[in-house]
Amino acid sequence: MPSLGLPPGLVIKEKTAAKAPLLSRNVTIALGVVGLHVAFIWALQSGLLIRAAEIIIPAEVLTQFIEPPAPKVEPVPPKPPEPVKKPVVKTSVPPPMPIAVADPTPAPNAPVGVTTPAPPAPPTPPAPAPAAPPAAPSMQLPSSDASYLQNPKPPYPPISRRMNEQGKSIIRVLIGIDGSPQKAEIAKSSGYDRLDQAAMTTVMRWRYVPGKRNGMPEEMWFNVPINWVLE
């Protein structure tokens, strides 16, 4: 190789300086590899790797059992409601009563006697008949229409005739037991005083059939109607 115009001693020194670091690096790598092998062999002999394996392997197994995936739990459906049971009422049945059975053979110590028929009961007296209610007293009112009395018609007052006064007067007369009028009063007016007074005068002159109670003459009041009608 040409020296490129440099002295030969300078080139040699440069080559030597470049090889020295390369050798020291190889030596360092070789020593590191040897050291690792020595440390590995020592660890095998002292049991450090076995202990580490014993510690690490169970840890992996434990993690597999501790952290399994949780199973999916499905919700349990609710139970249907039970039907309500009706309470059963127990009725107590009374025990059957003993039945009396007649024994045809009398007891050896039973008393012996003669039975006599009981005397008949006295007849019940008939109830008294209800008393008949007293008969209502029969009454017959007085009368002025008997033909044998021959009572005349009342005279029409001339002034009332001229003034065309008409009406009906009812005179209340007390009839004695002999049929004669005792007194009189106006029970209903005709509306005209002249007609009422003429009616009272007429009935006090009449004769009457007396009123009777149970067939006996009795003094009674009697209404005598007088109709005043112009013909």
What band does 90 get if pLDDT is binned at 50, 70 and 90? Answer: low
On whether residue 111 sits in a domain, the answer given is no
Tell which wins on pLDDT, 113 or 39: 39
- Out of 47, 66, 85, pick the residue that ends a domain: 66
Classify residue 163: in a domain, yes or no.
Answer: yes
**Nearest-angstrom CA–CA distance, 146 and 141:** 13
How many distinct structural domains can be found in the chain? 2
Model-level pTM? 0.42
Last residue of a domain, one of 18, 47, 66: 66
Q: Which residue range forms the structural domain that includes residue 147?
A: 139-228
Most confident of 17-26, 53-62, 216-225: 216-225
Judge whether 98 lies within some domain. Answer: no
**Highest mean pLDDT: which of 28-42, 94-108, 143-157, 176-190?**
176-190
What b/e readout covers 33-61, taking b as 16+ CB neighbours within 10 angstroms?
A: eeeeeeeeeeeeeeeeeeeeeeeeeeeee
When pLDDT is averaged across residues 198-209 and rounded to a whole number, the result is 94
Q: Are 206 and 176 in contact (CB under 8 A)?
A: no
Q: Is residue 223 part of a domain?
A: yes
| Residue after which a domain boundary falls, among 17, 35, 66 | 66
Question: In Å, how far from its chain's centre is CA 90?
Answer: 29
Determine, yes or no, domain membership for 198.
Answer: yes
CATH code assigned at 208 = 3.30.2420.10
User: What pLDDT does 36 receive?
Assistant: 84
Please write the tens of the pLDDT for every residue from 137-159.
788 888 888 778 889 999 999 99
Most confident of 61-70, 80-89, 134-143: 134-143
In a domain, 188, yes or no: yes
